[in-house]
């Protein structure tokens, strides 16, 4: 959907890998770094980047690796092999989520209609992510750039509802929450 101030579209499905492990263990960090080209971030609600791969912090021992499908297809297997002997989990969850991208000068205002986070640029800017609720649906929100451009990682079963909710919010009608 396109509005003068906001665009909304679904992105091609990427590879998504849920990674769990001990970020306090230097050997775990080294093994992850060897596979991903970057260490897992230990800063809450931040995103580490290496080329076209993003690693979103979801918790003290949990991250979501996001890679293009064409380059990340075996990412879970590579992480699992590198982390043998460590208490860890590396699960491909690519089929579980749809990624919606909302962008434009009014994107923050549209999201603010259904999110309880402070989205002001001084608080939530590029390189930030959060697990939150949009219109009563759990989502992962990532800000990509200053456009601003955001990605919403939505469980596949909720994606049609969230997309419809966002289209109503973009149209200027206050959507029901």
Joined together, the tokens standing for residue 177 give 């929450």
* pTM recorded for the entire structure: 0.93
Residue 90, Cβ neighbours under 10 Å: how many? 22
CATH of residue 148: 3.30.1360.120
63 and 132 fall within a common domain: no
Note the pLDDT of residue 4.
Answer: 64
d(CA 124, CA 81): 35
Q: Which domain holds residue 105?
A: 7-11+96-170
Residues 6+ away with beta carbon under 8 Å from 48: 38, 39, 40, 41, 54, 55, 57
Please report the pLDDT score of residue 174 as a whole number: 62
Pair 64, 46: CB distance under 8 Å? no
Yes or no: say if 110 and 40 are a contact pair by the CB < 8 Å rule. no
Same domain, 113 and 142: yes
Are both 80 and 126 inside the same structural domain? Answer: no
How far is it, in rounded angstroms, from Cα 17 to Cα 139? 16
CA distance 8 to 2: 6
Q: What is the pLDDT of residue 73?
A: 83
Write out the chain's pLDDT in tens, 177 residues.
555 689 999 999 999 999 999 999 999 999 999 999 999 999 999 999 999 999 999 999 999 999 999 887 899 999 999 999 999 999 999 999 999 999 999 999 999 999 999 999 999 999 999 999 999 999 999 999 999 999 999 999 999 999 999 999 999 866 766
User: Tell me, what CATH number does 44's domain have?
Assistant: 3.30.70.1520
Backbone dihedral angles phi then psi of residue 83, each to the nearest 5 degrees = -100, 10
């Amino acid at each position: 959907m396109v509005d003068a101030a906001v665009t909304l579209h679904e992105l091609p499905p990427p590879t998504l890998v849920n990674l769990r492990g001990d970020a306090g263990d230097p050997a775990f960090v080294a093994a992850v770094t060897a596979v991903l080209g970057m260490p897992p971030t230990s800063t809450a609600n931040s995103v580490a980047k290496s080329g076209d791969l993003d690693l979103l912090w979801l918790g003290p021992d949990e991250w979501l690796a996001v890679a293009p499908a064409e380059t990340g297809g075996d990412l879970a297997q590579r992480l699992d092999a590198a982390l043998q002997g460590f208490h860890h989990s590396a699960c491909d969850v690519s089929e579980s989520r749809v990624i919606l991208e909302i962008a434009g000068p009014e994107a923050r205002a549209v999201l603010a209609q259904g999110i309880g986070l402070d989205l002001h640029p001084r608080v939530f800017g590029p390189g930030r992510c959060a697990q939150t609720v949009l219109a009563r649906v759990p989502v992962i929100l990532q800000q990509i750039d200053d456009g601003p451009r955001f990605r919403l990682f939505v469980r596949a079963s909720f994606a049609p509802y969230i997309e419809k909710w966002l289209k109503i919010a973009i149209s200027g009608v206050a959507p029901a929450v």
